[in-house]
Chain A
Amino acid sequence: KAGVTQTPRYLIKTRGQQVTLSCSPISGHRSVSWYQQTPGQGLQFLFEYFSETQRNKGNFPGRFSGRQFSNSRSEMNVSTLELGDSALYLCASSFRVTIGSGANVLTFGAGSRLTVL
């Protein structure tokens, strides 16, 4: 069973540019979450999508956006890049996202490492 696939794995951009990162979840998983990891702030939640709808959003500026397609694949976009956006961006997928009992296990991808110069 294929895992969570993130592309590209590495990329370098300059300040002011924009970037789009892609995430393909595990087959059958309908929920996709995005996280940013930096040495100073650790792992921070960006947003979560389920059935093409954003279900929750972390405390990030509007420059950070995302979307989910009908096949559950997701993309996130960062516009007007700043030096502080240099980070490892992680995508995670899970099967359940609804109200009710039961645990919800996230499977993470290897991440996309963004360097902003």
Chain B
Amino acid sequence: DAKTTQPTSMDCAEGRAANLPCNHSTISGNEYVYWYRQIHSQGPQYIIHGLKNNETNEMASLIITEDRKSSTLILPHATLRDTAVYYCIVRGFYGGSQGNLIFGKGTKLSVKP
């Protein structure tokens, strides 16, 4: 699976959009980009995933560059409850174990009033 690089930490003002970048320059054609977040001492929570196209759901938007080498997770109106560690994970859909996700150190997002 391709390696991902994320900033260690970011701050965001409450009510503003939070844009979290992720670099995955070695991504291959059959690998998805997943985003999870972990609020302190809770289990990770799935946010969104994408392959080539931009995706949006009730939680966030995912923008993937045309060359797929980087992506941005957008929380449109951040609230204090969005303070968490955000993980960008690249995982292929080819065989074997699909439950083995490689979590890096992620980005610690702090939403401030």
Contact = CB atoms under 8 A, between A and B. Distances in A.
Question: Which of the four size classes fits the interface of chain B?
Answer: 20 to 34
Contacts of A109: 43
Nearest to A49: B99
How would you classify the secondary structure of chain B's contact residues: helix, strand, loop or mixed? Answer: loop
A88 interface: yes
Interface string B69-113: 000000000000000000000010111111111111100000000
A43 interface: yes
Interface in A27-71: 31-33, 35, 42-45, 48, 50, 55-56, 58
B76 to A, nearest CB: 21
Given A43-B103, A88-B41, A55 B46 contact: no
How would you classify the secondary structure of chain A's contact residues: helix, strand, loop or mixed? Answer: strand
Interface in A83-117: 88, 90, 92, 94, 96-111, 113
Most central of A4, A44, A100, A103 by chain B CB within 10 Å:
A103
Interface residues of A, number: 35
16 contacts: A31-B99, A35-B103, A43-B103, A45-B100, A45-B102, A48-B97, A55-B99, A58-B100, A90-B44, A92-B99, A97-B98, A101-B30, A105-B34, A105-B46, A110-B43, A111-B41
